[in-house]
């Protein structure tokens, strides 16, 4: 019985460790994103292509979008995109014009 308790305890500690590592990694990645965005904006401001106020709003928007991104498995409000696969022997004569892919 003691070995089962040890296994459960180790599994719990492993889970806590993984969660802690993931949190640290996400925080450092977010910091790097903010630094890169800030460097880009500083360069655009120095060139005169963007005002300081526009730059501040842009950095805030980028960081807000990064923190509010839906997870990979979550549902999106947009319908899935339709993907059509054409074989080499199909020609545009066989496909109605309204179904041709955009060029």
**Is 74 inside any structural domain?**
no
**Is 25 inside any structural domain?**
no
Predicted confidence at residue 45, as pLDDT, reads 80
**Is 62 inside any structural domain?**
yes
Instruction: Check pLDDT > 80 for residue 14.
Output: yes
- Is the full-model pTM beyond 0.85? no
DSSP structure string for 30-86 = HHHHHHHHHHHHHHHHHHTSS-HHHHHHHHHHHHHHHHTPPPTTS--SSPPPP----
Instruction: Check pLDDT > 80 for residue 98.
Output: no
pLDDT tens digit sequence for 21-42:
888 887 778 778 778 878 888 8
pLDDT tens digit sequence for 68-91:
765 544 555 778 778 777 776 655
**Is 51 inside any structural domain?**
yes
Q: Which domain holds residue 38?
A: 32-66
């Amino acid at each position: 019985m003691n070995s089962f308790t040890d296994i459960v305890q180790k599994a719990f500690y492993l889970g806590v460790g993984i969660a802690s590592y993931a949190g640290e990694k996400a925080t450092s990645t977010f910091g790097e994103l903010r630094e890169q965005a800030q460097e880009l904006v500083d360069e655009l401001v120095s060139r005169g292509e963007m005002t300081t106020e526009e730059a501040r709003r842009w950095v805030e928007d980028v960081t807000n979008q990064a923190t509010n991104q839906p997870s990979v498995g979550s549902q999106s409000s947009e319908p899935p995109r339709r993907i059509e696969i054409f074989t080499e022997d199909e020609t545009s004569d066989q496909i109605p014009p309204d179904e041709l892919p955009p060029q």
